Amino acid sequence: MRRELLVALALVLAGCSAPALPGPIGGPSHPETPTGEDAIGWEDGYWYDDPVAVTTEDGLNESELEAVTARTMARVEQLRGLEFESTVPVEVISRAEYRNRSGSGGGGAGPPRDPWNDQVWESLLLIGEDSGSSEAIDDTLSTAVQGFYSPSRDEIVVVAPTETPAVDRRTLAHELVHALQDQQFGLNGSAETQDTQLARDGIVEGDANYVEALYERRCGNGWRCLDRPERGGSSGGGGGSSVNEGLFTVIIQPYATGPRFVDTRRESGGWDAVDTVYEDYPDSTEQVLHPEKYPEEEPVNVTVRDRSNDEWRRFDHDPVADTVGEASIFATMYHNNQTDADRYSYDSAPSVGWGGDTVVPYHDGDGNGGYVWRSTWDTEEDAREFARAYRAALVDEHGATQPRQNVYVVPDSSPFEDAFHVVRRGDTVRIVNGPTVEDLGEIHAPAG
């Protein structure tokens, strides 16, 4: 997964209801200008409740953008209770320019294939062999991104929703929260697995979306705010041809469930309780989806013994394995019609009860891939429910036949054309995948 981009995303969550949020901070009266050091709620000549003299019909010129940015910074400070250490440059570009910069403009060969990551996404039945994971991720992000903050360059880029250089107040506030996070806590760290990256983004994006919601509420109750420009084109998840809906559900999880996690922390201990999470990030999406499990219930360390023959080998990749986690498994179940749960709840019987997992991709050196995915669950019933749903997805959604017990073959009419061996023992499920039934034992031989 493009981890550096996940940190930066700001998505419009169409159809996603916001969590119950406390009322915005009112704040005391303030002087015309701060006395002494800089004050929370004041930036570059603007208090959080000051008006700005701008016209938005033709977009914002440079001086207008600076004024709007300064006041938005003051407002973010007022809501979040933290002080910006420096002004953050803001650039406004068109979506066409964003696609050109990200390499998703449609005129080139597209991003190179990533065979290791392809197998991870295939295990989830979300990105098939007809589309590489890098291409699917880039195409989905190029449609969904509304703006981003770059920690390495310390700048914000806003993707204009119209042909004019218009700025959506919510997008600007969201990205300024990221800049504030970076200045106060640092955002240059990395995560080793898909699940830990999504979990880390649960606080990073959850905090930004939470403040964005508070900001928007205040715009309807006390603050004079710029009108939001009408959007042109798809904002993601709305059925655009370049959007992989299953992948999109994974990507937006931090934005959809992170605010609930933040709300729980703030309810229990104010903003200080939220701040401490940046010192001890969640270890799994399970902890974000179920805040009562943070930080005590750590994921189980799941290993996969290498039982491949000389024809198949693990990738020379660091790390050699990935962990997909509860949120991604929910996306699998939702987009393979194995749950009736709401898309943005991330709560389904086949994904709840996750304890830990490991996906190990394999290749044969001739362009063929496979994987071993081992997961452990809180109870045998949880494991049974996951295995049942995964098998049903293969049969009902992808037309798999079953030549023998626990073995499934998906036909070439499906982008997941392959052979699968799905076995549950106690609270553990193991899925072995390969091009043919014969390859299954060569990728992961039965224990002797």
241 found inside a domain: yes
What confidence category does residue 220 fall into, taking pLDDT thresholds of 50, 70 and 90?
confident
Predicted pLDDT of residue 352: 98
293 found inside a domain: no
Predicted pLDDT of residue 189: 81
Count of structural domains within the chain: 2
Has residue 263 got a pLDDT over 80?
yes
278 and 325 both lie in a single domain: no
246 and 346 both lie in a single domain: no
191 and 253 both lie in a single domain: yes
In tens, the pLDDT along 385-422 reads 999 999 999 999 999 999 999 999 999 999 999 999 99
Q: Under a CB-based contact definition with an 8 Å cutoff, are residues 257 and 140 in contact?
A: no
If 0-12 CB within 10 Å is exposed, 13-18 middle and 19+ buried, where does residue 49 land?
middle
Least confident of 19-33, 51-65, 173-187, 215-229: 19-33
162 and 209 both lie in a single domain: yes
Mean pLDDT over 287-306 rounds to 98
297 found inside a domain: no
347 found inside a domain: yes
268 and 328 both lie in a single domain: no
234 found inside a domain: yes
227 and 321 both lie in a single domain: no
User: What is the CB neighbour count within 10 angstroms for residue 250?
Assistant: 30
Mean pLDDT over 303-324 rounds to 97
What confidence category does residue 24 fall into, taking pLDDT thresholds of 50, 70 and 90?
very low
Strands (E), 297-397: 313-314, 354-363, 369-377
346 and 266 both lie in a single domain: no
Cα distances (angstroms) measured from residue 63 to each of 46, 87, 411, 439: 14, 14, 60, 64
276 and 323 both lie in a single domain: no
Q: Under a CB-based contact definition with an 8 Å cutoff, are residues 41 and 31 in contact?
A: no
Distance of alpha carbon 325 from alpha carbon 194, whole angstroms: 8
Has residue 448 got a pLDDT over 70?
no
CATH number at residue 427: 3.40.1000
Mean pLDDT highest for which of 31-35, 96-100, 431-435? 431-435
129 and 272 both lie in a single domain: yes
pTM to 2 decimal places: 0.91
252 and 340 both lie in a single domain: no
Give me 144's structure tokens: 């969904």
44 found inside a domain: yes
272 and 354 both lie in a single domain: no
280 found inside a domain: yes
Range of the domain at 350: 313-443
Question: Which position has the higher pLDDT, 303 or 163?
Answer: 303
What confidence category does residue 240 fall into, taking pLDDT thresholds of 50, 70 and 90?
very low
CA dihedral 264, 269, 271, 274 (to 10 degrees): -50
438 and 332 both lie in a single domain: yes
What confidence category does residue 36 fall into, taking pLDDT thresholds of 50, 70 and 90?
low
Distance of alpha carbon 358 from alpha carbon 266, whole angstroms: 33
301 found inside a domain: no
